[in-house]
């Protein structure tokens, strides 16, 4: 039962995170992250630290390319970790591309996420 509750909470969190990102609500998007969260994205060759770094990433790669994210698959590994597969569409050369996010949660927010494109 506890595992099902964790999965439901994580599913709701991820759905809300995607919807907020798709609406380009920067302040609300940042509220999903711990203030000292780290976002590592090897596909862009950079790591982004804290809300200011994650804001830079969101502004550049989501707002800048009008990126829309669609959930493909979510695997809730445990209370603190999840793997997400998505499809991105937007104003970038490929038009549509796959991606992954590997999350670590702390205190009900994202503390670390590794983002990558599926090429």
Could you identify the residue written with the tokens 């596909």?
A: 43
Structural domain range at position 45: 2-118
Closest CA relative to residue 113, chosen from 9, 37, 27, 6:
37
How does pLDDT run across 84-118, given as a tens digit for each residue?
999 999 999 899 999 999 999 999 999 999 999 98
Tokens of 70: 């669609």
Residue 118: φ, ψ to 5°: -100, 110
CATH of the domain at 16: 3.10.450.50
Query: How many domains does the chain fold into?
Result: 1
Tokens of 100: 């992954």
How does pLDDT run across 19-59, given as a tens digit for each residue?
999 999 999 999 999 999 999 999 999 999 999 999 999 99
Contact 30, 53 (CB under 8 A): no
CB burial readout 65-81, b (16+ within 10 A) else e:
eebbbeeeebebeeeee
More confident residue, 4 or 102: 102
Quote the pTM value: 0.94
């Amino acid at each position: 039962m506890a595992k099902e509750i964790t999965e439901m909470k994580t599913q709701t969190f991820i759905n809300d995170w995607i919807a907020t990102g798709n609406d380009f609500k920067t302040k609300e998007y940042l509220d999903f992250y711990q203030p000292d969260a780290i976002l590592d994205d090897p596909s862009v060759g950079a790591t982004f630290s804290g809300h200011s770094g994650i804001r830079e990433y969101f502004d550049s790669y989501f707002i800048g390319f009008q990126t829309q994210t669609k959930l493909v698959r979510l695997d809730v590994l445990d209370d603190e970790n999840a793997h997400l597969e998505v499809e991105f569409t937007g104003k970038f050369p490929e038009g549509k591309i796959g991606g992954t996010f590997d999350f670590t949660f702390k205190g009900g927010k994202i503390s670390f996420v590794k983002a990558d494109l599926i090429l």
